[in-house]
Amino acid sequence: MGPVISEIEFLVQIQDLLEREQTVLGEDRFRSYEEWDSLAYLSVVAFIDEKYHVIIPFEIFRDFTTIGDIFEYVQNNS
Amino acid sequence: MAHFVHEGINITGLSVAVPKKIFDNRKDNPFFSEKEAEGIIKATGITNRRISSEEISSSDLCFFSADSLLNNMRITREEIDLLVFVSQTPDYKMPGSGIILQHRLALTKNCAVFDVSLGCSGFLYGLNLAFCLLSQAGIRKALLLNGETKSKVYSMKDKQTGLLFGDAGSACLVEKTGEPSKSFFSLMSDGSRSHYIKIPSGGYRNPTTIESLKEKQYEDGSIRTDEHGVMDGAAVFDFTIREVPNNIKETMNFANNEVSDIDFFVLHQANKFINNHIAKKLGVPLEKLPYSLDRFGNTSSVSIPLTIVSEISDQVKKKPRKLLLSGFGVGLSWGTAIIETNCPFVDEIIEV
């Protein structure tokens, strides 16, 4: 396991990436975001690949419902 | 390892034909709302595509490009000893379309001809095959033809694929040049992920039935039959970012090249965001990454020669260039090549 990743930093980065005005919280159900579309999905996976060198498998991402789910996976696999 | 090195063999001519008809992803598909269409354009970069009419097939697109190429380069038909036709949208299940083209192009009977059934990796595989066979003394010149009408494979009412695919055909003249330039190929495959992109019925595993021709509706609102192509976009994205950067890096190592040695990286044209991500991972500056998909869509194996002709034709004609080509997709099948072009003849794009 790599260095500890700050959850706050992660949430801010996701908010910037999605160009979302409202603060992104761990319990947010991201699929209901207005900004959530195909490009948002590609962007999040690509960003995490670039920054944390983790490619979230598509079959695992499918089951994520909250931003916290994404963060937890990155934390456990980077 | 499926690594290949070739020397003294090169592409000396390149020609591409596309249908005249332009399909505007914003306006021309009544099954996508404005918001849905914008979402696809944003996610892929594909704004327009060329769609062939009912009468035009892949082999026609290849005929026009090959015929023009041979005439413009003043190559006599008799000199062609090999024709390889790469397509997954052949005219018939039987016979192969390459042989029909042998006749249409008035090549001699002393010509070896066959079809290769590959999609997005098809230019890499086809080019390598032509290069391999050209090492034989008996093969003086070869025509590599790549042709696809994938717009006819997918349902217009499929939310994942209805706006992606365009049609095109290309002809490459490949011959022995005796020049010292080397080319390097690395080819890969993975049948465990073969279900990511497929046409479920209409072959011999699941033959056509009344059921397979019926339209079915899916959870995302897509409507298609089992005889239409189906693609799992998220799965293909996963495969691409997982495998392609590694294949490219591995090919560059094998060829002893750095990013700075390569003039252009011509990647299969499926998704602009994904290609940009691959480039970023490899440290490739965006000016070395040409795009044609905004105007032509995803043309399967033709996307690599099409991008060379539509985007970097002048640069390639003017002086020797080192190109890295990478194709990836259906199969799953993928491959990368590093070739050094030496001012080949490049036709203007032909519209049919």
Would you kindly state where each structural domain of chain B is located, as residue ranges?
1-352
Any idea what the CATH number is for the domain that residue A12 is in?
1.10.1200.10
Answer yes or no: do A39 and B242 touch at CB < 8 A.
no
Dist CA B90 CA B148 (whole Å): 8
The alpha-carbon gap from B182 to the nearest alpha carbon of chain A, in Å, equals: 33
Which pLDDT tens digit goes with each residue over A11-54? 999 999 999 999 999 999 999 999 999 999 999 999 999 999 99
- B273 vs A42, A50, A58: nearest CB: A42
Dist CA B188 CA B247 (whole Å): 8
A42 contact residues in B (CB cutoff 8 A): 43, 237, 271, 273-274, 277
Q: Give a yes or no: residue A56 inside a domain.
A: yes
Question: Which are the contacts of A19, defined by CB distance < 8 A and separation ≥ 6?
Answer: A35
Task: Give the position of tokens 């040695």.
Answer: B261
Please, are residues B44 and B148 in contact by the beta-carbon 8 Å criterion?
no
Dist CA B233 CA B230 (whole Å): 9
Residue of A nearest to B40 (CA): A38
Please, are residues B335 and B327 in contact by the beta-carbon 8 Å criterion?
yes
Domain assignment of residue A68, given as a range: 7-77
Q: How many CB pairs under 8 A join A and B?
A: 45
B273 contact residues in A (CB cutoff 8 A): 39, 42-43, 46
Under the banding of pLDDT at 50, 70 and 90, the label for residue A1 is low
Q: What is the ipTM of this complex?
A: 0.94
**Homologous superfamily in CATH for domain B1-352:** Thiolase/Chalcone synthase (3.40.47.10)
Under the banding of pLDDT at 50, 70 and 90, the label for residue A2 is low
Chain B contact probe: residue of A19, A38, A63 with most B CBs at under 10 A? A38
The distance of Cα B14 from the centroid of its chain, to the nearest Å, equals: 13
Chain A contact probe: residue of B277, B284, B332 with most A CBs at under 10 A? B277
Answer yes or no: do A37 and B39 touch at CB < 8 A.
yes
Q: Give a yes or no: residue A1 inside a domain.
A: no
- At B192 the three-state DSSP class reads helix
- Taking the CA atoms of B345, B118, B237 and A78 in sequence, report the sign of the dihedral they define: negative
> Based on the structure, what is the number of domains in chain A?
1
CB distance from A61 to chain B under 8 Å? yes
Which residues of chain B have a pLDDT value below 50? none
What DSSP state is assigned to residue B211?
A: T
Per-residue pLDDT, A4: 76
Q: Give a yes or no: residue A16 inside a domain.
A: yes
Give the β-pairing of B197-198 and B345-346. Answer: unpaired
Per-residue pLDDT, A5: 83
